[in-house]
Structure 1
């Protein structure tokens, strides 16, 4: 599969390994009973039939009138990537098709309704919903991709990509729709912003996980923050226009955010006009959704004397009133220029917790009810978010909030030297009833961010059916293009970056749980086991250490997304050194077990390699805080230090040849 196809199909390669069915170009083993496909995000309903059929090498497309040509092109790409070489067009499905027929369109088209009726299926009637119905007919089968709307049809194509990667299609009906209306990411971190190329790739990725929103809000864009009143240079505006076009093709709502808080004069009509002018310029390049960020600013002082005259002395309550007046004026302007526009989104100055305050009370009282309010949970980086937490936020802000989830963002001091690659957990199933959606604030490293964002998007799509561990594995398989060895290497690497810090001293996810369990087992076998148990544990650790040391080269070999390897470079470098330190440590323990004096040399070499690994630095300027790279810290480094003390080390000698 080419890299282009992997990017398009996204998670479809997951099905190859999960189901055990051969991939494109390989004739699948025919099984009597169809297998329930693994789809990510998890659909609302899969009704599995008793038959199945092979895709074959020839297919016919039956496309309803008015279907987006780009969506049809994506269906063609799915088929080609699954080994279908010949694709023709027809207006209807024959009674006994001699090859695969794929019906594509929305539920208001007669040809789609007829195909659904033949499959005893009905259209999903939710916004962004879709139905996929497949039946065995004649010598092949018919697959119907039916969207409730154009967005739903686009999502159906993403699921079809996962089904087609199996090589054969089970008879089934999938009815599916998102639990939350807003799902995606907000590029809202400090430090080096993403490049336009990274943003475009991120939009392509978001489509594969059925996200629908991307907020452009980089803190380091001067024309969105410090110089927000000024027009963008022509070249930057052209790049943003191209990005907005990529978003449209991916059915992603591109939301442009301005951050005027450090300098805005809330009561000055000129500043309202400046903001309207900024949004008008974005509307002219195809952006239709807007956002005003008022986070990380002071409300203990005004930026202008006019505000003091208009709202009185500065303070929390006065700030809430002033902000509401500005935002209401902007919302009125947006509605007047485009009555169908999505509501304005804002992030307040008090964006975390749900405690009653004068500021929140002022917003609740004065802010236009149409305006969407973002909230980061019980803290800036919350360890968990529950249904009662979200209900408290609804009460505090006077509306259901849009969760700004500060995971996996790594722009604060506690994340120095870290990638955050643990699964997305500790958000309570059922939050879809209490939130308008979830936006993840990702890392400065775009491709590694996809690991967590896959989970965020899957949770937003179906929070009650979300399986964190399986989705985490699916994210690894997608990055690995379905390759089993590369997937395993990625999961080993992810484990070294499992720790998720908060703004406090206690992390909300532990570091390296898989490695820690293995090392704890070795410690126990040495302390309490017999000779066989100890030697078996050391042999198992030796095999793991070899895989650990080899994982970086596997990740860099070309199978895994090249951007992941490039953006993770110092972490992979450090992991390789730590892997060698672990191998030397195992060699030392095995030498002790043989009563060999070579153990001293092995442990000394392990210590030197560990020091080299601990000295590897992050890429200068890539993140807000530069510093030494952390690899399974608190787990692997402790074991390397402790190993010489676990058994009595014989007198010093020369290391054995290995």
Structure 2
């Protein structure tokens, strides 16, 4: 046994007696059991301590301990005892250690602190809890028994769009360790060496070095770095491809990777064959995973990864359930691609796959609503399903730092499910992310929670606390109007302060366009409500407020047209579910009343969408449609679209427009002849438009050049059979 002498710094208080008890609501994740002494005493911390540890044990825990208690030689009777089950240092406390993986026992007494883990990772988590207690500036005399509800907890970087930067991933892994998440699945869709066309090839030297660095960072933070491969788009089920996959895994193993996954999601064709998938995965499991004695169980994502896409009679899921080795985990997103998880969901899937589902939760991922930030509370998953799943990982936004608001709560939920409270966890997450300006970030986030209309139909509540006041304001209550006016002023102030914040520059840079839009929204709300007050008070300032409101509408539109111009859902939306629509309603109401009283003809229209989409393709019927300058765009989809025979997608305009050309990308070569494009002035009589597709290209064009105005355009599957395609682009170009 080796002894080290280190000082103990009690932040802000030095060695003074601590007056308040530990706030257990701020321990993250919420601990399972916390017991105070009968006298509820607090600890007077000495300036140094004697570290008691079995030499060579729990190196990552000890490194973390040194971060919160910086090194300095000294002698003290006060002991800090650290170890894992089986260590001589903690033998006396063996019976108090929870009999669960990654559990720990933490004891704070007048003369000692004990951290005893069920294993090395449990000890590391005990140190993280101690660090949180110290940072509170208070230490109760207490005992904690703690352990996770879910075995595998963390994040899958599996979104479409710009992958996280190397630096962002390094920060993420540190964040996971502090919040007791043990899993990071590396599977960015736009990494060419993870998927087609280069999954068979080794990483170039620079990228390989970065992955090795990530693996080391993960290990320091007791996180399993799970490297995933996505071979299904062009896999040939040959011995050559099988061996290429094993060789790729071996190359990743040499980089330090000790956890692996295979994804068969979002593909079609031969790669979806469940018998071939099971045969390949079992081979990998038998010949690689099991033979490497330091590798965690294999994880796979199936092609039918949610209930709405599952053909039970077709036997895909039952084939996996029956044929896959029992140790292989099967991922599942729920009843739909984007869905919350509950008991009926798991009761449906688990019997089919003959194991507990490994949940891939598609939140706060925003790759299908990229003009929105998802910063609201993390809620909707059942609190009684801890025994029905093997793992739970969250798919985040491409904005890594902003995703931490939800990921903090995912860590909270998966550790202690029954005690999870979404609102308190959300508030704590914001405080953790931006301590000094947390109140301003919370205000902004409360109006940046919903996803807007989207093809998955998944929505989140927004502006929750303000909703009753907005309702009362629209009913004419003056006090409510003043409250909303104050909220708009506060929103403007919050965005101004956050735009200049330097505490977390990574966060501010990610959300800067939305902060600009939030500031404009706050100013717009003030102008609209001052218009109403001017009418009430017969104030000549009405036109000033009206002109400013119109100017702010134009500025918000311009920001939406110039910032965050990604090719999928470009633009910047804030308060789009509740606050902005309510203000627009009040704007129209004010103008209507003013016109009536003053016999004027001011334009009362705030905003509208002149285009509507209808479709009998289930996956497309609620896709958003947006007009931008000369272009009318239908939002793309990231998933495989099953387009029934004779089914169509139709766009209708509220007035005739002169159409010029359709730009279409269904992600498939030689598919144009299977579809029919038509336009109509009345929705009854249709004119066919030829579709053109170059050889070896997925892009399709249709030259319309209508001399007369048309009000309808539709795309019909004329092949006579169901087609599987992507929906990467649908842009209707109008004539000037």
TM-score, normalised to structure 2, is: 0.74
- Deviation of 1:601 after TM superposition, in Å, equals 2.1
Distance of 1:377 and 1:212 partners within structure 2: 22
Change beyond 3 A, Cα 1:191–1:537: same
Q: Say yes or no: does 1:352 pair with 2:330.
A: no
* 1:40 corresponds to: 28
Q: Say yes or no: does 1:257 pair with 2:228.
A: yes
Q: Say yes or no: does 1:405 pair with 2:361.
A: yes
Q: CA RMSD in A?
A: 2.6
* 1:154 corresponds to: 124
Distance of 1:201 and 1:566 partners within structure 2: 15
Change beyond 3 A, Cα 1:495–1:29: farther
- Deviation of 1:33 after TM superposition, in Å, equals 6.8
| CA distances 1:510-551 after superposition (whole Å, capped 9, x unpaired) | 232234333223334xx2x4xxxx2x4343333322220011
Distance of 1:640 and 1:35 partners within structure 2: 40
- Deviation of 1:350 after TM superposition, in Å, equals 0.3
- Deviation of 1:48 after TM superposition, in Å, equals 1.8
Change beyond 3 A, Cα 1:616–1:186: same
Q: Say yes or no: does 1:130 pair with 2:104.
A: yes
Instruction: Determine which structure has the larger strand proportion and give its number.
Output: 2
| CA distances 1:109-167 after superposition (whole Å, capped 9, x unpaired) | 333244x49xxx81122100011111124xxxx22122111100111111111100122
- Aligned 8 A contact 1:380 1:503 in 2: no
- Deviation of 1:219 after TM superposition, in Å, equals 0.7
Change beyond 3 A, Cα 1:619–1:565: farther
Instruction: Determine which structure has the larger helix proportion and give its number.
Output: 1
Distance of 2:191 and 2:130 partners within structure 1: 38
Change beyond 3 A, Cα 1:53–1:619: farther
Change beyond 3 A, Cα 1:452–1:602: same
Distance of 1:557 and 1:145 partners within structure 2: 41
Which shifted more, 512-521 or 211-220? Answer: 512-521
| CA distances 1:172-227 after superposition (whole Å, capped 9, x unpaired) | 11111011110011111111111111111111111121100001111111111111
Matching residue within 88, 95, 104 for 1:110:
88
* 2:348 corresponds to: 392
Q: Say yes or no: does 1:577 pair with 2:551.
A: no
Distance of 2:443 and 2:11 partners within structure 1: 24
- Aligned 8 A contact 1:106 1:150 in 2: yes
- Deviation of 1:557 after TM superposition, in Å, equals 3.3
Distance of 2:220 and 2:561 partners within structure 1: 35
Matching residue within 522, 527, 530 for 2:473:
522
Distance of 2:458 and 2:490 partners within structure 1: 27
Change beyond 3 A, Cα 1:297–1:498: same
* 2:399 corresponds to: 445
Change beyond 3 A, Cα 1:180–1:339: same
Distance of 1:294 and 1:35 partners within structure 2: 45
Q: Say yes or no: does 1:588 pair with 2:531.
A: yes
Change beyond 3 A, Cα 1:470–1:87: farther
Matching residue within 174, 183, 186 for 2:153:
183
Matching residue within 434, 437, 451 for 2:388:
434
Within a 5 Å distance, the mapping from 1:246-395 to structure 2 comes to 246-266=217-237, 268-299=238-269, 302=270, 319-353=273-307, 356-357=312-313, 358-382=315-339, 384-395=340-351
Which shifted more, 547-556 or 207-216? Answer: 547-556
Q: Say yes or no: does 1:419 pair with 2:373.
A: yes
Greater Rg by CA? 2
Change beyond 3 A, Cα 1:219–1:330: same
Structure number with higher relative contact order (C-alpha < 8 Å, ≥ 6 residues apart): 1
TM-score, normalised to structure 1, is: 0.83
* 1:66 corresponds to: 56
| CA distances 1:412-432 after superposition (whole Å, capped 9, x unpaired) | 1xx131111121211111221
- Deviation of 1:494 after TM superposition, in Å, equals 1.1
Matching residue within 182, 188, 203 for 2:173:
203
- Deviation of 1:339 after TM superposition, in Å, equals 3.1
